[in-house]
Structure 1
Amino acid sequence: MTGPTFLGRVGSVAGATISVRQAESVASGIAIIAGRSYRVAQVGSFVRIPQGYHDLYGVISEVGAQATPDTLVDARQRGESWMTVQLVGEIVETSFERGISQYPGINDEVHLVTEDDLGRIYGAEHTGQIAIGRLAGAESIPVQIDLDRLVTRHSAVLGSTGSGKSTTIASLLRSICQASGGKHCSSSRILLLDIHGEYGDALKSVAEVFRVNPSEDEQPLHVPYWALDTLTLLDFLMGPLSENAYTGVLDKIQAAKLSVADGVAGVDVNALTVSTPLPFSLKQLWFELIDPEYKTWADKERTQRAIDEEGDAEALKAPKYQPPGAGSALPDQNQTGVLGIRRQLAQMRSRLLDRQYDFMLHPGDWEPDLAGKPSKDLPDLLQSWFGHNKPITVLDLSGVPSQVLVRLIGGILNITYEALFWGRSLPEGGRARPELVVMEEAHRYLGKDGDNPARDMVQRIVKEGRKFGVGAMIVSQRPSEIDETILSQCGTLMALRLSNSADQAKVKAALPDSLSGLVDTLPVLRTGEAIIMGEAARLPIRCRINLPRAGERPNSEDPRVSEAWARPRGDEDYERLAAAWRSQDPKWGQEPKMEDS
C-alpha cells in the first residue's frame, strides 16, 4: 500500500534532476490528507523520496509534456504524466541539510510533502533563524531564514512596482528587530537609505529617522562634506580641473587639515592625506583660492596690494582689486599661486550659497569655523548614526537634489564602511556589531555606466564587507539595470512579482536550469508573495510575507483615483503648494499629528 501521499515513481535520474512518472491514481488538483488540503503536482511544490533511514527532498520544476524525458517521447501517446524534480536536500535522522549524499533509484516511490514534513525541514524558531512569512502552499508553516547568511552573504529584494516590495522590506526589518521579542537582536544595527521617504512613519517605533527637513520626532540629516571622499567632493563643487589646478587645490586642503590635526586621537601628522576625515573650512578654502586669481600689486616689487575693498570669507565675498594696467603700467597682475580656476570658483561659490545643499555643505554643528574647528566632530556623527538605542537608522534622502544623490550615497557608504572596517577589532566595530545596509531604489544609483562613487563603494562592500561585518541588501524594481558584479554577489534573492522579461532573466541566471520553472511563476505571484532562494533559505520556497500592522506600513500606496476624484473639493491654497516646493518639504505648513494616548 503506497498511502495517500503517493505521487509516482522515479523514471530517470540525471545528477540532481530526476523525472517522475506520475501514478494513474493521482488526480490533478487538490488532495485531502488528515483533514488538510494540498495542491498536487504544482510547480514549486516539494516532494519526498524515502531512502531507508533518511529522506530526499526536491522541488517540482516542470509538469506535463515538457517534463517527459526525451528518450520516452512515446509516453505521451500512452497517456502517462511526468514531473521534473530538482533535488535540494535531505533529512538524516532528524535534521535537514542542503545537498544530497546519495541519489534515488529507478522506481523509488515519490510522495507529496505534508505539513508535518515541512515542519521537520523548517523546525522550530531558534537563535539565528527569523520568521518572515508563511509557505504559500501550506500557510500554517512559518518560513524562516538564516539571519547570519542573510547579512554576511548579502541579499537582494526584487519586484515590479506594486508587487509589495516596500511592505516586504518593512516587514522583514521588523521581523529582525522583534525576533523572539527582540531578545535575539537587541543589538542589531541596520542602516536604511530611504530614497522616497516611505519608511519614516512605518518604522519610527524601532528606528531613528534623519531627514533634511525633520519633523518633531525626527533628527536633522547632516552629512559633513569633510567626511566624504575629497576627490568626489571637488568634482561636485568645481567640476573638471586641470592637473596643475587639481594638485594646487589638494595641497590647500591638506594644509588646512594639517592645521587642525594636532592632538586629534589617531592622527599621525606625518601620514596625513587629503582623504583623512578631518574638518576644514570650505569658505576659507574658496577665499584663499580666489584671492590670487584677482590680486594686483601697486608696486613693481609686489609688496603692496592694489586693493579697493577687502573680501570676507564668511560671507563668501571676494576682495576687489584695481584692474591691472596695460603693458608695463601699474597695477601689476599677480603671478603667484594662480591656478586659472575663476570659473570653477564661481561654481563653488554658487554651490555654497545654494540652500538645497545645506545638509552637506553647511552641516549644522559639524560645519567648521574659518579656522577649521567644528562644534561636533566625527565621533559625534558616528554616534548619532550607529550608537543610538534603536536598531534601525533611516536616512531619509527624499529631500536630496537628484544631481548630488549618487555622490551623497557614495559618501554615506564610504563613512559607514571605513568606520566599521578600521574599527573591526573594537566593540563598536563591524565584527562585534555587524551592520546591514539596506539600499532602496538601488537601480537609480547602482547602474553600469559612467563614473559612479556609489556603485564603486557597494562593489567594495559586497566583495569584502562580510569579513568586516558590513552586509548589503539591494532593493530594486529593475534588477536588469543594476551592475552585474553587485547582483552576482547577493547570496540570497527574494523575488516578488516581476513582469519584465529582462528582469526575470536576472533572477533565472541565479538558479540552476532545472529550477527555471520557478522563475516562470514570477509574473503571476500575488502582491506580497515572493520566491526566496539562496544562502539564507533552506529550500527555494514560495512565501507569503507577513503584513505589518496598520500604521506600520510604508507610505508607498498608489493614490485612490476614483475616490479622490469623486470627493468634493475642499479649500485649496496654492501659496502653500508653492511654499512646499520651494522649501523642498512635502510636510510644509502641516500641523504635527497628535500621538494617541
Structure 2
Amino acid sequence: MSATDPTYLGSISSVSGATVSVRLAESLSSGLAMIDGHTYRVGQVGSFVRIPLGYQSLYGVVSEIGADFAPSTAGGSIDVDSGRWMKVELAGEAIGGRFERGLSQHPNVNDAVHLVTQRDLLSIYGDEREDQVPIGTLSSAENIAVRLSLDALVTRHSAVLGSTGSGKSTTVASLLRSIVQSGGNIEQSGARVLLLDLHGEYSAALGDIAKIFSATPQPGERPLHVPFWALEAGDLLDFVAGGLSDNHLIALTDKIQELKAASLALKPMAGLDPLSLTVDSPVPFSLKKLWLDLIDFETMTLTGQQRDVPALETPGDANTLTPPKYRPHSMGAAGPYLNSAAKGIRRQLNLLRSRLLDRRFDFLLHPGPWEPDLNGTTAQDLDTLLEGWLGHEKPITILDLSGVPSAVLVRLIGSILRIVYDALYWSREKTEGGILRPLLVVMEEAHRYVGPDSGNVAADIVKRIAKEGRKYGVGAMLVSQRPAEIDETILSQCGTLIALRLSNPADRSRVKGALPDNLAGLMDLLPVLRTGEAIISGEAARLPVRCRIALPPSDRMPRSSDPLVSEAWRTKREAEGYDRVVASWRAQSTTARVNPVQIERKSITEGER
C-alpha cells in the first residue's frame, strides 16, 4: 500500500536518538513528485518528512542525503538497488491534528516515511493562536505562512545572525513590525520594544511606529539623555577619572557619598531611607561641585604657625569649572606650605574637568533636565526618563547611538541596559514592571560589546539579562554579523536562532554549536541562502524551517542598502560644495548648513485668508 502512495519515500533502516536513517524506495527515480497538482522536491536537505504511527505522526527535517554506491551499467544491466539514503532529525509530533515539539515515542525499523504535503504543513504552521506571529513564508511552499511563538521569542531570547548584505537589518525591521502588529492594530498595541541602533538604520524603517531618541537629534527626534548619577559609581569614575588605585577610588567615592547624602537631606526621595543610602544609589549630585571641592583640597596651600590658614588668592567657580588660585608654596620655613593631607588625585581631577568641558559627552554629563545644580537638585527625576523610553504611546523606542563617541559607546550601552533592567526588576510586582508588561531589548551589532573577553559593563548586564531576564519579563534579541565574537554563554541562552547567510567558517561553527536542535546538516546551507532567507530553529519555531522573511513596505526599508555605484558613476558630476561636507563633519550632523536659512514669518489676518 505504501509503495503506491505518491507521498511514500522509503522505510526506516536505523534509529539513534532523534536521528533516523531512511532507505529510499526504488520507485523514486526522479527528484520531483506531483501530488494534488503541486510539485515537490524529493529528498532535499531542509525538507520535511512524516512518519505515521497509527493515530500519531512524527515529523522531521532532512539533514543529509547520499548513496552507498553508484548504479552499475556494465553489460547493459542496471543495479536497481542504488543504496540511496537520507538522514532525518526528528523534531515533533502531531496527535489528533495538533502539532507539538518533542517526541513521546520513537519509530521502529521498516516504518514507512512519507513526504510532507501542503496539507500537512498547514496543520503545523497554520495555527493562528494569539501568540503566533507571521514573519514570512516557507521557502519550499511560499503560499504557507511561517509563524513564531511570540511568548517564546521574547522570554526565551533570540538571535538574528548573518553576514553583511544577507538582509539582517531588513529582517529585524520586518520582525519588529510583525511583533507590534500581532494584535492587529498598531495604535492600540501594548508591545514594548527597546532598540539600540548603533548605525542609525532604523529611524526610516520604523519611524511611524517608534519614538526616536538620538545623541545628535534630527528634526522629529528627541535628544537622548542618560543621567550620570544613575550609573554605578565605579563605572562613572572609570570613565570620568580614568584608572584609579584603591586609595584614589576611596577618596572619590567618599566624596560622592557625601554629596548624595547632602542632596537626599535637602530633598527626600520616596522609597529611599537615608540610612540605606549607598554610593551606587541613583541620587542626583553635582559633578562640578565634586570637582571643585576636591581640586580645592588638592591644590590648597597653608600658612600660619599651625599651617591651618588657607593662602587663597582667588576662589574657584564650579559653574565655569574655574580652579581656585592659591599662593604658590615655598621651600622655606615661612610658608605657604603644601597640604600634607592631599590624596594625590590631581591628574584624575584634571581628566574629570576635561570630560565635563567636552561637548561630545553632554548627553551623559550634562543630561538636560536631569542635570543637577550645585545642591544636587534636578528639574526632572528618573520616572520621566523611564516614561519617555518605555511609557509612551508608540510600541517601539529607538535609541539612536550613531552619534555617540566610541570612547563611551560600550559604557553607555551598559548604563542604559542597567537602568532599564534594574527599574523593571525592582518593579516586577507593579503594572509597569516587566512581568505584567514585558520588554524586548533588541541589541544591534552585539559583537561589539559582548565578546568572549569583553569584561565590560555592557557584557555583564547582557549576561544578566540572558540568564535571569526571562523570570522578570525582559527578553533579549541579539543582532550580529560575527557570531564567533559573541560570548558563548550569552549565545547559548538564545532559545531561538534566526540564521541568515553566513560564509565565515568560524561563524557557522559557533551557530552550529548553539543550535537547540540537532541540525548540523541543515546549517551547511548557510553559505548558499538567498538574501532575506533564513533558517529558523529553536523555542519559537514549530519545526526548524527555511523561511523567506516578509519584506517591510518599500518606503519603510532600513538605511542599510548598498550604494548604487554603477548608477552614481554614470551621472555627470555637478558643482560640488565641499564646504558643506566640512560643515557636516564639524557639526557632527548630516543636515548641517553652511549658510543658515532665514525665513521671515508673518501672521495672516482673517481678511487676508
Alpha-carbon spacing, 1:423–1:252, altered in 2? closer, same or farther (3 Å): same
Q: Residue 240 of structure 1 corresponds to which residue in structure 2?
A: 243
Matched-pair contact (CA < 8 Å) for 2:148–2:541: yes
Q: Residue 113 of structure 2 corresponds to which residue in structure 1?
A: 110
Alpha-carbon spacing, 1:153–1:525, altered in 2? closer, same or farther (3 Å): same
The more displaced of 290-299 and 166-175 is 290-299
Q: Residue 143 of structure 1 corresponds to which residue in structure 2?
A: 146
- Cα distance in 1 for partners of 2:415, 2:280 equals 12
Residue 182 of structure 1: how far off its partner (Å) = 3.1
Matched-pair contact (CA < 8 Å) for 2:192–2:439: yes
Is the aligned partner of 1:91 residue 2:94?
Answer: yes
Partner SS, residue 519 of structure 2? helix
Query: Number of matched residues?
Result: 585
Alpha-carbon spacing, 1:510–1:185, altered in 2? closer, same or farther (3 Å): farther
Per-residue deviation, residues 76-132 of structure 1 (Å, max 9, x unmatched): 994121111111111101211111222222222211101110110123322111000
Q: Residue 72 of structure 1 corresponds to which residue in structure 2?
A: none
TM-score (norm 1): 0.95
**Unaligned runs of at least 5 residues, structure 1:** 69-74, 593-597
Q: Residue 192 of structure 1 corresponds to which residue in structure 2?
A: 195
Matched-pair contact (CA < 8 Å) for 2:69–2:82: no
Partner SS, residue 461 of structure 1? helix
Counterpart pick for 1:436 among 428, 433, 440 = 440
Q: Residue 80 of structure 1 corresponds to which residue in structure 2?
A: 83
Letter in 1 for 2:23: R
Letter in 1 for 2:109: I
Per-residue deviation, residues 476-501 of structure 1 (Å, max 9, x unmatched): 00010111111111111000000000
RMSD: 2.0
Counterpart pick for 1:460 among 464, 486, 490 = 464
Residue 9 of structure 1: how far off its partner (Å) = 1.5
Is the aligned partner of 1:510 residue 2:540?
Answer: no
TM-score (norm 2): 0.93
- Cα distance in 2 for partners of 1:522, 1:94 equals 32
Matched-pair contact (CA < 8 Å) for 2:92–2:103: yes
Counterpart pick for 1:50 among 42, 49, 52 = 52
Counterpart pick for 2:124 among 105, 118, 121 = 121
Is the aligned partner of 1:396 residue 2:403?
Answer: no
Q: Residue 36 of structure 2 corresponds to which residue in structure 1?
A: 34
Is the aligned partner of 1:171 residue 2:174?
Answer: yes
Q: Where does 1:319-468 land on structure 2 (aligned, <5 Å)? A: 319-336=324-341, 338-468=342-472
Q: Residue 22 of structure 1 corresponds to which residue in structure 2?
A: 24
Matched-pair contact (CA < 8 Å) for 2:497–2:515: no
- Cα distance in 2 for partners of 1:66, 1:206 equals 56
Percent identity over the alignment? Answer: 59
- Cα distance in 2 for partners of 1:13, 1:85 equals 10
Per-residue deviation, residues 554-573 of structure 1 (Å, max 9, x unmatched): 10011111111111212322
Letter in 2 for 1:114: T
Is the aligned partner of 1:261 residue 2:264?
Answer: yes
Q: Residue 571 of structure 1 corresponds to which residue in structure 2?
A: 575
Q: Residue 73 of structure 2 corresponds to which residue in structure 1?
A: none
Letter in 1 for 2:279: V
The more displaced of 373-382 and 99-108 is 99-108
**Unaligned runs of at least 5 residues, structure 2:** 71-77, 598-609
The more displaced of 31-40 and 301-310 is 301-310
Partner SS, residue 507 of structure 2? helix
Partner SS, residue 557 of structure 1? coil
The more displaced of 41-50 and 17-26 is 17-26
Partner SS, residue 64 of structure 2? strand
Counterpart pick for 1:13 among 12, 15, 20 = 15
The more displaced of 543-552 and 10-19 is 10-19
- Cα distance in 1 for partners of 2:502, 2:187 equals 33
Q: Residue 526 of structure 1 corresponds to which residue in structure 2?
A: 530
Partner SS, residue 231 of structure 1? helix
The more displaced of 293-302 and 453-462 is 293-302
- Cα distance in 2 for partners of 1:14, 1:296 equals 82
